[in-house]
Amino acid sequence: MITVVTAPETIPTDGFKIFLAGGITNCPNWQKELIEKMEKQETGDAEVYLFNPRRENFPIDDPNASKEQITWEFEALREADMIIFWFSKGSDNPIVLYELGMWGNSRDTLIAIGIDEGYSRKQDVEIQTMLARDDVAIVYTLDEVVKQIVETVDEVW
């Protein structure tokens, strides 16, 4: 069963938890597309939570909203069993690069990395990942990311 947890909802402590790390600002809504693809997948008995940091309506006029958002993302990343990194076109994805360095390449965390063919820093991500985590295969479509998620859930759960 797939359950989507969107910022700033309560982060569950059970099940297999996957954080969707990737661009939000000036980027296509790749999270929605990936979630729709995942909802069509069979996960057997696995309770899978997708942590989605992209809100429908971010309260831009609330001075506390950014701190709440960043704190939620930090906690969700820390709780995640797997982190999906998607580097989409439209932005250099600076926060995602930071998250990859902190949570993906510097820890023994289950990760999947996908890069949109139009992403401007594609080679940087490929080289840095090869140097830090040569065990991680980089893919170039959301369908391939979904396949990696399903295979990981099948293996781990």
pLDDT number for residue 83: 98
Answer whether residue 24 is part of any domain.
yes
Answer whether residue 120 is part of any domain.
yes
Supply the CATH number for residue 110's domain: 3.40.50.450
Is the model's pLDDT at 77 over the cut of 90? yes
Total structural domains in the chain? 1
Answer whether residue 8 is part of any domain.
no
Answer whether residue 109 is part of any domain.
yes
Domain that holds residue 109: 13-56+64-156
If you average pLDDT over every residue of the chain, what do you get? 94
Is the model's pLDDT at 42 over the cut of 80? yes
* 90 dihedral zone (left: phi>0; alpha: psi -120 to 50; beta): left
- pTM for the structure as a whole: 0.95
pLDDT number for residue 107: 74
